[in-house]
C-alpha cells in the first residue's frame, strides 16, 4: 500500500525533531530541533534553566506516549567552555543527569554518522563535550568506509567517596556498600550479598533492592561533591556479578533516577567502579577490563584507567570508556494542543 502523507502537522500543532540511537541496548533520544535553546553562562546554569522553563520537552519525549519508563535523552547546546565543541544536557524519567557515558557514545556516533561533524576521511575524530559534570573528551573511531565502529571517551575524574558504609534494609538486613563517583555518585555492592544474581529474570528484584539501598544510603549519609554542589546527590545503585563471558571482568546492573534500569553497563557507573577497584588495590592503571550489562556479553564496555589525579581530599583516577552505538531512527514528533495525554505521563 502506498500512502501519500501531507507534510503538515494539524492546525495549531508544533513539532520536535530527534535522532534516536542506542548504546549497548540503552536508548538515547537526541533533540535536534523544535524547542528553545536553554540559556546560561555555564552548562550547569543551562541545566537549571531547562529544569525550570523547558521541562515540558523532557516529559513529552521521555515519558509515554512517545517514550517509556526507561527512555533516555539529551539536548545539544552551545558549549560554555573554550575547550568544548558542544554542550550537552541529559534527560531521564526523573529529571536531568550530570553526565552519561552511554549518551556520550551514542551522541558522538550520531554527530559523525549524520554529518554534523565532518570526518574528512579521518580514522579518528575527536569531539569535546561540555557536560554538567565537566569536560569530556571523546573520539569517534571510524572504519575504512567512514562508519563509526566505536567511540571512546575520557571521563571526568572519578573517585571512591566512602568505603564500607553499613546500612540496614527491611528485606535484606545488614549490608555494606561503597559509594563512588564517576560523573555521578553510586552505591555499589555485589548482588550476591543480597542473595540475587545479575540476570534479566531477576530484574524486578534487583530494582527493588537498588531503590531500597538508595533510600537507606540517603538516610545515613549526606553526599557532598568537593567542587560542585549540583553534583552532590546519590544518582543510583550498581549491583555487580560474574560475567556471561568468562574472559570479561564482571557484569552489573545500574538502577538510577526513578527506579530506571540502564540496559548498558553505564559509562559513569563503570567509571565509578574503576575508581573503587583501584582504591582497593584490585585494578592497576592501564589494565583494560570489559564490563557487561545485565544483558550479558553482547552489551559491554571496555574500560581502563589512564591517569591519576586529586579531587579535593579524594585520590582520583581518569577513566577511559569505549563502546558502540547505532542510530535507530529519525523522528518528527507532533504536539497537538488538544492532546492532554500527549504532554506525557508515566505508569
Domains of the chain, by residue range, sit at 14-155+327-343, 158-320
Confidence of residue 120 (pLDDT cuts 50, 70, 90): very high
Least confident of 165-174, 188-197, 211-220: 165-174
3 state SS of 284:
coil
Confidence of residue 256 (pLDDT cuts 50, 70, 90): very high
Torsion of CA 281, 287, 293, 294, to 10 degrees: -50
Buried b (16+ CB within 10 A) or exposed e, 117-126: bebeeeeebe
Look at the alpha carbons of 239, 242, 248, 249 in this order and tell me if their dihedral is positive or negative: positive
CB neighbours of 330 closer than 8 A, spacing ≥ 6? 17, 18, 19, 20
CB neighbours of 204 closer than 8 A, spacing ≥ 6? none
pLDDT in tens, 280-337: 999 999 999 999 999 999 999 999 999 999 999 999 999 999 999 999 999 999 999 9
Task: Give the pairing type, strands 250-256 and 289-293.
Answer: parallel
ω before 21 within 30° of 0 (cis)? no
- Is 14-155+327-343's fold the same as 158-320's? yes
Mean pLDDT of the region 122-138: 97
Mean pLDDT of the region 187-193: 98
3 state SS of 40:
coil
3 state SS of 38:
coil
For residue 346, what is its C-alpha cell?
Answer: 508515566
Residue with the three cell numbers 569531539:
127
Mean pLDDT of the region 29-45: 96
Confidence of residue 12 (pLDDT cuts 50, 70, 90): confident
Mean pLDDT of the region 254-272: 97
Percent of the chain, pLDDT > 90? 95
Residues 106, 335: Cα–Cα separation, whole Å: 26
Task: Say yes or no: domain 14-155+327-343 is CATH 3.10.310.10.
Answer: yes
User: Pick from 227, 235, 214: which is nearest to 95 by CA?
Assistant: 235
- Residue 185 pLDDT greater than 90, yes or no: yes
For residue 50, what is its C-alpha cell?
Answer: 531547562
Question: Rounded to the nearest 5°, which phi and psi values hold at 2?
Answer: -105, 115
Fold of 158-320: Diaminopimelate Epimerase; Chain A, domain 1 (3.10.310)
CB neighbours of 281 closer than 8 A, spacing ≥ 6? none
Confidence of residue 11 (pLDDT cuts 50, 70, 90): confident
- Residue 223 pLDDT greater than 80, yes or no: yes
Task: Give the pairing type, strands 134-142 and 296-311.
Answer: unpaired
- Residue 1 pLDDT greater than 90, yes or no: no
Q: How far apart are the first and last CA of the chain?
A: 35
- Residue 7 pLDDT greater than 70, yes or no: no
- Residue 9 pLDDT greater than 80, yes or no: no
- Residue 242 pLDDT greater than 80, yes or no: yes
Mean pLDDT of the region 230-238: 96
Residue with the three cell numbers 533516577:
257
Least confident of 6-10, 55-59, 101-105, 120-124: 6-10
3 state SS of 108:
helix
Per the CB < 8 A criterion, the answer to whether 85 and 107 are in contact is no
- Residue 208 pLDDT greater than 60, yes or no: yes
- Residue 4 pLDDT greater than 80, yes or no: no
CB neighbours of 155 closer than 8 A, spacing ≥ 6? 99, 101, 136, 182, 183, 267, 268, 271, 318, 319, 320, 321
Question: Would residue 163 show up in a list of annotated catalytic residues for this protein?
Answer: no
- Residue 238 pLDDT greater than 80, yes or no: yes
Radius of gyration of the chain (CA): 20
Amino acid at each position: 500500500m502506498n500512502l501519500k502523507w501531507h507534510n503538515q502537522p494539524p492546525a495549531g500543532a508544533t513539532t520536535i525533531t530527534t535522532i534516536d540511537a542506542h548504546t549497548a541496548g540503552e536508548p538515547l533520544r537526541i533533540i535536534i530541533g523544535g524547542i528553545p535553546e536553554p540559556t546560561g553562562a555555564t552548562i550547569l546554569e543551562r541545566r537549571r534553566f531547562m529544569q525550570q522553563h523547558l521541562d515540558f520537552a523532557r516529559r513529552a519525549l521521555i515519558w509515554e506516549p512517545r517514550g517509556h519508563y526507561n527512555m533516555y535523552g539529551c539536548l545539544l547546546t552551545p558549549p560554555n567552555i573554550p575547550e568544548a565543541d558542544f554542550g550537552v544536557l541529559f534527560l531521564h524519567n526523573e529529571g536531568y543527569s550530570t553526565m552519561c557515558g552511554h549518551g556520550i557514545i551514542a551522541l558522538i556516533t550520531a554527530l559523525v554518522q549524520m554529518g554534523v561533524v565532518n570526518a574528512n576521511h579521518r580514522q579518528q575524530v575527536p569531539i569535546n563535550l561540555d557536560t554538567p559534570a565537566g569536560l569530556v573528551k571523546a573520539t569517534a573511531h571510524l572504519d575504512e568506509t567512514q562508519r563509526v565502529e566505536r567511540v571512546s571517551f575520557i571521563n571526568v575524574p572519578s573517585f571512591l567517596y566512602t568505603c564500607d558504609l553499613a546500612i540496614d534494609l527491611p528485606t535484606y538486613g545488614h549490608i555494606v556498600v561503597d559509594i563512588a563517583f564517576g560523573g555521578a555518585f553510586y552505591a555499589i555492592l555485589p548482588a550476591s550479598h543480597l542473595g540475587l544474581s545479575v540476570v534479566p529474570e531477576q530484574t524486578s528484584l534487583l530494582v527493588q533492592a537498588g531503590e531500597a539501598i538508595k533510600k537507606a544510603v540517603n538516610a545515613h549519609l549526606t553526599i557532598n561533591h568537593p567542587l560542585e554542589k549540583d553534583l552532590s546527590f546519590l544518582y543510583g545503585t550498581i549491583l555487580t556479578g560474574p560475567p556471561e563471558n568468562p574472559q570479561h571482568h564482571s557484569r552489573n546492573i545500574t538502577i538510577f533516577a526513578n527506579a530506571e534500569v540502564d540496559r548498558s553497563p553505564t559509562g559513569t557507573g563503570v567509571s565509578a567502579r574503576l575508581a573503587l577497584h583501584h582504591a582497593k588495590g584490585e585494578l592497576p592503571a592501564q589494565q583494560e577490563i570489559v564490563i557487561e550489562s545485565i544483558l550479558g556479553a553482547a552489551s559491554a564496555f571496555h574500560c581502563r584507567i589512564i591517569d591519576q589525579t586529586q579531587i579535593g581530599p579524594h585520590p582520583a583516577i581518569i577513566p577511559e570508556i569505549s563502546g558502540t552505538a547505532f542510530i535507530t531512527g529519525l523522528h518528527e514528533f507532533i504536539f497537538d494542543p488538544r492532546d492532554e495525554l500527549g504532554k506525557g505521563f508515566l505508569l
